[in-house]
């Protein structure tokens, strides 16, 4: 009998607990229903839409390109006697890089000079004969034919001297070309030829390559849609292009490190690259420490200008919907909640830039966003001074 009473006591306790849970659950539901139904004004913080002129940056990617590149090639044929530079070093314009065997070209120069001397001797003889015949023709001591032959021989001798002089000049140039000089100042790469190698004029492989790294170009790709939006905003007077600031490009290496040097926007192409659908933008950057190398991947923030009278709202006020759109809650007439779909045009610090969907006098709700519903009653509290705002009866 005692055992039966203990069992009834347990059943009674369990039933009482279940009743209490049901009552508490019902009370919670009634409270939420009251809040959502508008019978209870929910205290919410709000922030006024901020209006500011926002610098517009384009985040672009591209690759570094050398400003100047020169392939060192032989202009005469011969055997390499000596290489004067160290691979990977900086060479100056006019610095000798290679010495080609000059023996053959020295002989050609000597032969050309001898031919010139012979031509000059022939010219001297022809000139004496021509001068003599010029006097005799006046007294009819010689025939007109003899005079013409003397005159022709003199002119032929003059031409022979000119040809011999040109041959000497050519031989001197060829002899000079046996010394291979740096055409530009820059960093020279590896040598493709060694001492004892035979090089020929117009050979396919260059002897070496010199690359100028300071400054260096960064070729970036700007999307057509971004370019069109910027130009349309300029036409509407909503955007001031950055025309006065020369150093308007911030650069980042592939590892994310920001460079101390800023780039200067050189120009943008007037055609669209059909393979990428991008417009090429070229930036010139100082590169005295040679951090940037041709072909290196670079990320850049290009200051395109200023977007005037931009509308800013705190990022915490934005609600992302399942369909991909964004919305905010604003305080409407009689302090009720109004839902507005907005278009985000970018971000700056802790704010989003709103390009469509808001007015400059809207009050944006920034708290209790999870429990708010359109048309719900709220008590606005200015987030700047934490004081309840006056009732909005407009």
Mean residue pLDDT across the chain:
83
Residues 6 or more apart from 339 whose CB is under 8 A from it? 327, 328, 329, 330, 374
Is 279:224 a contact under the CB 8 Å cutoff? yes
77-108 burial string, b = 16+ CB within 10 Å, else e?
bbebeebebeeeebbeeeeebbbbbbebbeeb
Q: What is the pLDDT of residue 348?
A: 83
Q: What percent of the chain has pLDDT over 70?
A: 84
Q: What is the pLDDT of residue 248?
A: 76
Query: Would you mind telling me the total number of residues written for the chain in this entry?
Result: 394
**Segment 341-364 mean pLDDT:** 88
Q: What is the pLDDT of residue 389?
A: 53
Q: At what angle do helices 103-136 and 144-176 cross, to 10 degrees?
A: 160
**Segment 107-129 mean pLDDT:** 95
* Comparison of pLDDT for 32 and 141, the residue scoring more: 141
Backbone phi, then psi, for 212, in 5-degree steps? -90, 120
pLDDT surpassing 60 at residue 162: yes
Element containing residue 275 per DSSP (H, E): none
Q: What is the pLDDT of residue 240?
A: 66
Q: Collapsing DSSP states into helix, strand and coil, what is residue 170?
A: helix
Cα 4 to Cα 8: distance, rounded to the nearest angstrom: 6
pLDDT surpassing 50 at residue 393: no
Q: What is the pLDDT of residue 260?
A: 86
* Comparison of pLDDT for 394 and 256, the residue scoring more: 256
Least confident residue range of 81-95, 107-121, 276-290, 353-367: 276-290
Q: What is the pLDDT of residue 241?
A: 67
Q: What is the pLDDT of residues 276-330, one digit of tens each?
A: 778 888 889 998 888 888 999 999 888 777 778 889 999 999 999 999 899 999 9
Q: What is the pLDDT of residue 302?
A: 80
pLDDT surpassing 90 at residue 187: yes
Cα 284 to Cα 266: distance, rounded to the nearest angstrom: 6
Is 212:186 a contact under the CB 8 Å cutoff? yes
pLDDT surpassing 90 at residue 178: yes
Q: What is the pLDDT of residues 27-49, one digit of tens each?
A: 444 444 444 444 578 899 999 99
Locate 222 and state its tokens: 């700007």
Q: What is the pLDDT of residue 236?
A: 67
Give the Å distances, CA to CA, from 192 to 72, 84, 101: 10, 14, 18
Cα 105 to Cα 88: distance, rounded to the nearest angstrom: 31
Cα 10 to Cα 6: distance, rounded to the nearest angstrom: 7
Q: What is the pLDDT of residue 34?
A: 42
Q: Collapsing DSSP states into helix, strand and coil, what is residue 220?
A: strand
Q: What is the pLDDT of residues 196-226, one digit of tens each?
A: 999 999 899 999 999 999 899 999 888 887 7
Q: What is the pLDDT of residue 179?
A: 97
**Segment 105-124 mean pLDDT:** 96
**HEC profile of 308-327:** EEEEEEEHHHCEECCCCCEE
Per-residue confidence at 73, pLDDT binned at 50, 70, 90? very high
Own/partner long-range contacts of 379-386 (Cβ < 8 Å, ≥24 apart): 379/41, 379/42, 379/43, 379/44, 379/335, 380/44, 380/46, 380/331, 380/335, 381/43, 381/44, 381/45, 381/46, 382/45, 382/46, 383/45, 383/46, 383/47, 384/47, 386/45
Q: What is the pLDDT of residue 289?
A: 84
Q: What is the pLDDT of residue 235?
A: 73
Q: What is the pLDDT of residue 387?
A: 53
Is 345:351 a contact under the CB 8 Å cutoff? no
pLDDT surpassing 70 at residue 246: no
Q: What is the pLDDT of residue 25?
A: 44
Pairing of strands 90-91, 186-188: antiparallel
């Amino acid at each position: 009998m005692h055992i039966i009473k203990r069992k009834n006591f347990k059943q009674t306790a369990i039933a009482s607990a279940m009743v209490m849970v049901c009552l508490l659950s019902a009370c919670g539901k009634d409270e939420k229903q009251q809040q959502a139904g508008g019978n209870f004004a929910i205290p919410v913080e709000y922030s006024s839409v901020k209006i500011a002129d926002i610098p517009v940056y384009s985040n672009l990617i591209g690759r570094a390109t050398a400003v100047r590149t020169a392939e060192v090639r032989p202009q005469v044929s011969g055997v390499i006697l000596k290489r004067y530079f160290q691979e990977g070093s900086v060479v100056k314009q006019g610095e000798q890089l290679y010495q080609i065997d000059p023996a053959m070209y020295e002989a050609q120069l000597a032969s050309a000079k001898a031919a010139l001397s012979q031509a000059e001797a022939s010219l001297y003889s022809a000139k004496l004969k021509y001068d003599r015949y010029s006097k005799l023709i006046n007294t009819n001591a010689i025939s007109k034919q003899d005079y013409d032959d003397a005159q022709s021989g003199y002119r032929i001798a003059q031409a022979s001297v000119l040809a011999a002089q040109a041959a000497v000049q050519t031989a001197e140039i060829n002899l000079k070309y046996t010394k291979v000089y740096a055409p530009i100042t820059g960093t020279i790469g590896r040598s493709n030829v060694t001492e004892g190698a035979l090089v020929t004029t117009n050979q396919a492989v260059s002897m070496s390559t010199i690359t100028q790294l300071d400054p260096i170009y960064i070729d970036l790709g700007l999307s057509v849609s971004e370019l069109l939006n910027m130009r349309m905003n300029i036409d509407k007077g909503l955007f001031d292009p950055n025309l006065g600031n020369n150093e308007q490009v911030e650069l980042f290496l592939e590892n994310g490190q920001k460079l101390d040097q800023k780039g200067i926007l050189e120009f943008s192409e007037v055609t669209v690259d059909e393979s990428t659908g991008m417009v090429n933008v070229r930036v010139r950057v100082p590169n005295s420490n040679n951090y940037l190398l041709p072909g290196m991947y670079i990320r850049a923030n290009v200051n395109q200008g200023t977007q005037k009278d931009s509308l800013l709202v705190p990022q915490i006020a934005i609600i992302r919907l399942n369909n991909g759109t964004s919305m905010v809650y604003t305080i409407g007439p009689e302090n009720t909640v109004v839902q507005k779909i907005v278009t985000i045009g970018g971000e700056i610090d802790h704010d989003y830039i709103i390009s469509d969907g808001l007015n400059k006098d809207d009050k944006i709700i920034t708290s209790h966003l999870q429990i708010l519903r359109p048309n719900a009653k709220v008590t606005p509290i200015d987030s700047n001074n934490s004081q309840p705002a006056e009732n909005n009866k407009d």
